[in-house]
């Protein structure tokens, strides 16, 4: 019997893959990806420039691989990527919530030059309200 992953959110992942090498990303992969700029910054320096999600469309055809290929055509300021595939039982809203959480954490970090600035997640915003903190 195969050993079960102790993580219940992330199924598998790869980090710091060179731009253009998509074969390691299975088609229709659902999850979070990060674009980095490593050009001229040394072998261990990866500057985060974009955080995104893939595989959340209604038809389920596009995944992280498709998003990376799209960024390859439309965004110039990145050289590497990482992706984190979620398990099949993770809902689309949960992937979107994870993206909003990461963007919220890194929005004002001066070391990170995010190209995408979304306004946030309504559901995450609601969780900070006083009514969410009442004893249940």
Residues 72 and 80 sit within 8 Å (Cβ to Cβ): no
Give me the residue spans of the domains in the chain. Answer: 10-133
pLDDT tens digits along 6-57: 668 999 999 999 999 999 999 899 999 999 998 877 677 888 999 999 999 8
Please determine, for residue 93, whether its predicted confidence score (pLDDT) is greater than 50. yes
Residues 106 and 49 sit within 8 Å (Cβ to Cβ): no
Residues 56 and 48 sit within 8 Å (Cβ to Cβ): no
Distance in angstroms (rounded) separating the CA atoms of residues 83 and 19: 12
73: left (phi over 0), alpha (psi -120 to 50) or beta: alpha
């Amino acid at each position: 019997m195969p050993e079960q992953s102790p993580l219940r959110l992330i199924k598998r992942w790869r980090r710091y893959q060179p731009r253009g090498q998509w074969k390691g990303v299975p088609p229709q992969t659902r999850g979070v990806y990060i674009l980095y700029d490593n050009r001229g910054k040394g072998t261990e320096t990866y500057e985060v420039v974009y955080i995104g999600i893939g595989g959340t469309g209604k038809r389920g055809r596009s995944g992280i691989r498709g998003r990376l290929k799209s960024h390859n055509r439309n965004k110039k300021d990145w050289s590497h990527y990482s992706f984190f595939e979620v398990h099949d039982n993770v809902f689309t809203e949960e992937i979107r919530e994870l993206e909003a959480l990461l963007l919220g954490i890194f929005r004002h970090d001066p070391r990170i030059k995010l190209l995408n600035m979304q306004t946030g997640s309504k559901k995450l915003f609601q969780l900070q309200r006083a009514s969410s903190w009442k004893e249940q």
